[in-house]
């Protein structure tokens, strides 16, 4: 079994020294560089680069540079997604983001985890688990989402939060580790 196949099955795989994965990451880094060297006003050119980079991008995608990711093809975005400056999507496993999601500046979505044992870690091993974000979610700045997390529709994740576990739909969640502090009544327009 190839290292890529192991990765896609959620098993330990050689992330650091496997030639196929290294080449794929370099290709994504090059596309991120190209994107980050274009002006925000060069919309058509930016969209062309994003189409090459992102696995699935719905209409209305806006990405503010700089932006970075590991592979790109594991990123699946719904329509009207906004990604603010300095965001990093470590897409070793799929990162699926629904419609109408606002991602604040300096956010990180990390699908990879490393062994606690330093011998295994030094050998380049890691494991990747998917991240799933529902629709109509808002992330404040500097939010970190860890491997295997699912965040339900309609959530607000407060600035600086570290999301270590699933967050149910229509929750306001904050902190490190992130915890639900209230629920959102989507019919209440006074808040």
CA 106 – CA 77 distance, rounded (Å): 18
- At 183 the three-state DSSP class reads strand
Which residue is catalytic, options 74, 100, 114, 165? 114
- At 131 the three-state DSSP class reads strand
114 as an active site residue: the answer is yes
Q: Is 125 left (phi over 0), alpha (psi -120 to 50) or beta?
A: beta
The answer for residues whose C-beta is within 8 angstroms of residue 111's C-beta and 6 or more apart is 74, 90, 91, 92, 93, 94, 95, 128, 129, 130, 131, 147, 148
Which residues have a catalytic role annotated? 114
């Amino acid at each position: 079994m190839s290292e890529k196949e192991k990765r896609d099955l959620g098993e330990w795989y050689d992330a650091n020294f496997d030639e196929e994965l290294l080449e794929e990451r370099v290709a994504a880094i090059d596309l991120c560089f190209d994107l980050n060297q274009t002006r925000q006003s060069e919309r058509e050119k930016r969209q062309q680069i994003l189409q090459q980079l992102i696995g699935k991008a719905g209409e209305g995608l806006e990405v503010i540079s700089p932006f970075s990711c590991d592979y790109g093809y594991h990123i699946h975005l719904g329509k009207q997604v906004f990604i603010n400056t300095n965001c990093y999507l470590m897409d070793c496993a799929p990162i699926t983001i629904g419609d109408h999601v606002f991602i604040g500046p300096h956010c990180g979505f990390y699908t990879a985890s490393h062994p606690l044992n330093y011998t295994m870690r030094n050998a380049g091993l890691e494991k990747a688990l998917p991240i799933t974000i529902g629709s109509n979610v808002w992330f404040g700045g500097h939010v970190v989402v860890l491997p295997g997390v699912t965040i339900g529709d309609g959530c607000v994740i407060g600035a600086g939060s570290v999301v270590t576990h699933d967050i149910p739909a229509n929750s306001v969640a904050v902190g490190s580790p992130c915890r639900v502090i209230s629920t959102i009544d989507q019919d209440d327009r006074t808040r």
